[in-house]
Structure 1
Amino acid sequence: MKKRERKRPLRPGMPPGSLVPLDKELTDTVSIQVIRYNDEHWEEETIGSIADLPPLDPAMKVTWINVTGLSDIGLIRQIGVRFKVHPLILEDILHTRQRPKFEEFDAYLFMVMKLITSRGVDSEMEAEQVSVIFGERYLITFLESADAVFEPVRDRIRKDGRIRTHPSDYLAYALIDLIVDNYFVVLENLGEKIEFLEDDLLTRPDPATLSAIHQLKKDMIFMRRSVWPLREVISSLERSDSPLIHQETILYIRDVYDHTVQMIDAIESFRDIIAGMIDIYLSSVSFRLNQIMKFLTLIATIFIPLTFLVGVYGMNFQYMPELSLPWGYPVLWGVMIVIASGMLVYFSRRGWL
């Protein structure tokens, strides 16, 4: 068994090896779904507790135990005792803010991944931790909530697909591949959001547009923090010398690794686009401000000579020849109108209006 690189501090009063959910309120609904299969047959059932799980059937190639909901700490402990899982691994399963990682033991392999989903362009991203333990002829998955995203894998098992002809490492690959493919769906939705925001930037950006850009930036940072370590997990799985990883499965794992590299390239491209969108927004706001200042400056320029004339004839001197003219007032108005009109024509010809 490989040595773990870090030790997590215990809470005050918590004995070593204690299992407590450290991060957040977990769902109270816990279900255990068991699927057994071989080349010719498959069985599916839902059990109430790990005590209802019979011993691994030698006639079945793989037994997949899916645990949905992490509020039952006793259940997690029973699984650890049943399959001889290290207490620190059980703690990592409950600690739902784990970084994606891969750990190798003599009898089993352990992986942590982030399942990110998005129901549409207008919906927010949802993320939860997926923990996977697989050994000889069994695989256990732990999820925080409903796992509808794994339904395609179940359908492949039910329909006598290729997956039933392979051992547990191929099932682990199928689940990883499904998670990675789901990342592409999320990236596609983020790409559509970016297109909509680009249209808003070209028309009339407002503070709501800037807020949406910052939210996109946060989403891309979260995606990057999930995908980069996932690539390391898949790379470690590919290079593993464990007898649980068969040579035929390594080819499929390598294909998933290529997908993660493509996804990282797409994420980096989106990050550059979002950074450029922020610059465009700031430039657009600055341009609009400059246009407003230009308009106000032109108005002020037009009124400068008019204000001068009004100021001259507003002086309280007794002897001003124009004040005694019967047409003085209309003439002054005419002069001001001519000056203002002439300046407007001049500004228009110069393209300043």
Structure 2
Amino acid sequence: MSITASALPWRRAASCVAAASRRDNRDPFEGDVVLEHVFRAAGVEFEWLDLVEPTPSDLQELARTRGLPETAVVDCLDPEHLPKFERFGGTAFLILRAHDEAAPAAADSIQACTRKVAVFWGPTFFITIHRRPQEFLTRLKERWAARAAADADADLLSVELLADLTHAVVESYERPLESAEALIDAFESHLMGEHDGVATLPEAYRVKRRLNLMRRLLWRTLNLATRFRTANGRRAAVLQDLRENAESMHFYAEELLDDVNNLLNMHLALAAHRTNEVVKVLTIFSAFFLPLTFLVGVYGMNFAYMPELVHPMGYPAIWLLMVGMSIVIWVWFRRRRWL
């Protein structure tokens, strides 16, 4: 599909329902491009366009008709690009990464756990670009499509939409963080029980990798939120609320990461303690049997003349000596509190 200047506004708000029904009948993994006109303000020139699964030629045409910087458009095609924020004159470019609700439980890489959303916005437009339909973005589009198109300030609309989108991205990490917290609690209960924790150790390391990944992405998102243009009045309040939400979610991820690191360190400490207990028992046995083994070795030597061997009290005397040595060792260990 080639996007031309006349084709860009071709899916108006009035045709959103028909477009949605066509998408519902379409396989979401087909390669055709969907350009949806999500929202248009009344009284001011402002619109939200959502572009799904674009090809490089589609993006080049979009860049030409909307005056978007080509270097930023190229970044839209990189599936592993981390969150970033740039300004090009009157146009701003933003990349966000949201947690993928369909990601497998064992996923522990950025590409497997998250999905990228590229955003271009200017004074009169807001464009979102992504490779696959995403649940959080679908819910946001439905909310804005149902919003009354009343007269409003275009700049305020862009700030509110930017904040809503970033809020949705940040909140997409809440459910996986709660799942990670439940796994950490289960791991802690298993570790504090009669189990050695070895069976749950691989899962704990996977949770640690995922938490570290989410913390990094939330930190980058928080960094971006602090760089958004500040203003007075409602715009400043909206952006401040966004920063507080991102900071809270980042702190949540950081706290969980500290918890799982502490549990892993505790597991290593308990394993070392169990090893020390085993070595302690073996050492105690060695301390008891070492002098006895020495006596047995002495009287097991094949010398021709050993008076104790032919003495009538030799055998009971050796037994008394060995028992006496064992009692002395036991008393010594008890006084030193080793037993």
- TM-score, shorter chain, exceeding 0.5: yes
SS at match of 2:338: coil
Question: Residue 334 and residue 229 in structure 1: after superposition, are their counterparts in 2 closer, same or farther (change >3 A)?
Answer: same
Distance 1:318 1:164, change over 3 A: farther
CA contact (8 A) 2:41 2:151 kept: no
Please give the alpha-carbon distance, in whole angstroms, between the structure 1 residues aligned to 2:149 and 2:180: 31
Q: What SS class does the counterpart of residue 43 from structure 1 fall into?
A: helix
User: Does residue 282 in structure 1 map to residue 282 in structure 2?
Assistant: no
Structure 1: runs of 5 or more not aligned: 1-31, 241-245
Confirm whether residue 263 of structure 1 aligns to residue 236 of structure 2.
no
Q: Of residues 37, 61, 70 in structure 2, which corresponds to 1:78?
A: 61
Which of the numbers 160, 178, 186 marks the counterpart of 1:196? 186
Q: Tell whether the 8 Å contact from 1:92 to 1:98 is kept in structure 2 after alignment.
A: yes
Partner SS, residue 314 of structure 1: coil
Structure 2 gaps of 5+ residues are 1-7, 24-31
Deviations 1:282-306 (A, max 9, x none): 3223222221221111010111122
1:132–1:324 Cα change, 3 Å: same
If the length of structure 1 is used for normalisation, what is the TM-score? Answer: 0.70
2:266 and 2:81 map into 1 onto residues whose CA distance is 36
Q: Which residue of 1 aligns with 2:127?
A: 140
Matched, 1:237 2:251: no
Q: Is the 1:173–1:249 contact (alpha carbons within 8 Å) kept by the matching residues of 2?
A: no
Q: Which amino acid aligns with 2:84?
A: K
Deviations 1:67-101 (A, max 9, x none): 3335x222222222232211111111112333322
Instruction: Tell me if the contact between 2:50 and 2:129 (Cα under 8 Å) persists in the aligned partners.
Output: yes
Distance 1:170 1:57, change over 3 A: closer
Kindly indicate whether residue 298 of structure 2 is the aligned counterpart of residue 316 of structure 1.
Answer: no
Is the 2:41–2:150 Cα contact (8 Å) retained in structure 1? no
Tell me the secondary structure at the aligned position of residue 131 of structure 1.
Answer: strand
- Provide the identity percentage: 25
The AA in structure 2 aligned to 1:194 is I
Could you list the per-position Cα deviations for residues 242-262 of structure 1 after superposition, in whole angstroms to 9, with x for gaps in the alignment? xxxx95344222201111122
Q: Deviations over 1:174-225 (max 9, x none)?
A: 2111111122323222323332333344344556655555444433432333
Cα distance change on mapping 1:279 and 1:151 into 2, 3 Å: same
Structure-2-length-normalised TM-score: 0.72
SS in 1 for 2:76: helix
Alignment partners' CA distance in 1, 2:184 and 2:33: 46
Q: Do 2:119 and 2:128's aligned partners in 1 also have CA atoms closer than 8 Å?
A: yes
Quote the residue 2:26 is aligned against. Answer: none
- Does residue 1:176 correspond to 2:158, yes or no? no
CA contact (8 A) 2:97 2:115 kept: yes
The one-letter amino acid paired with 1:78 is E
RMSD: 4.1
In the alignment of these two chains, the number of paired residues is 310
Is 2:117 aligned against 1:130?
yes
With over 3 angstroms needed to count, the CA separation of the structure-2 counterparts of 1:297 and 1:129, relative to structure 1, is same
